[in-house]
A = this chain, B = another copy of it.
């Protein structure tokens, strides 16, 4: 998606260790109009699967997932990183997600009351690197007897293993910006 790529080049910042920082328009400050465009683009691509729900993980996935859900006219569920005080351990589906950035395993949970059998779930997330978050959500969704009909990503680090793993798991992955490399302070996209 050209609008997102332009925003990355113009507003993204490269930090030491070739870390791409997008916190002025995606994951700390959010550009609502860009998110609306992103939501429409995901809806346009994934409507062929007639998703019944959008699922993401808090917090940075919520904005693009909400806009996709609005365009698709379906509810959004966001997985939580801590067990809400109103839920017991037995009330949730959960999965462990390993974060390479932070080098920790964390649990993500979704209330069992919010996922039904036979649902077709569209997963949305801001970054795809090693695919761990999406695979964790997939595990949760399958615990409910539902299935994943697609995965929408804002920024894919195509030089990491995530896309390969998700495709191996049979998932249709649509990334709006596929980053081929981040080197010497410059981002290059796959054609």
Contacts and interface: CB of A to CB of B under 8 A. Distances in A.
Number of copies: 2
Contact of A63 (B31, B66, B73, B114): B66
A31 B74 CA distance: 8
Interface in A1-41: 15, 19, 21, 23-25, 28-33, 35-36
Contacts of A113: 24
A80 B101 CA distance: 17
A30 B101 contact: no
Of A76, A77, A80, A86, most B-chain CB atoms within 10 Å = A86
A28 B24 CA distance: 25
B84 A28 contact: yes
Nearest to A59: B58
A59 B31 CA distance: 17
A103 to B, nearest CB: 11
A33 B70 contact: yes
A80 B33 contact: no
A111 B28 contact: yes
A47 to B, nearest CB: 15
B36 A78 contact: no
A63 B56 CA distance: 13
Contact of A86 (B19, B80, B84, B85): B19
A25 B102 CA distance: 31
A30 B69 contact: yes
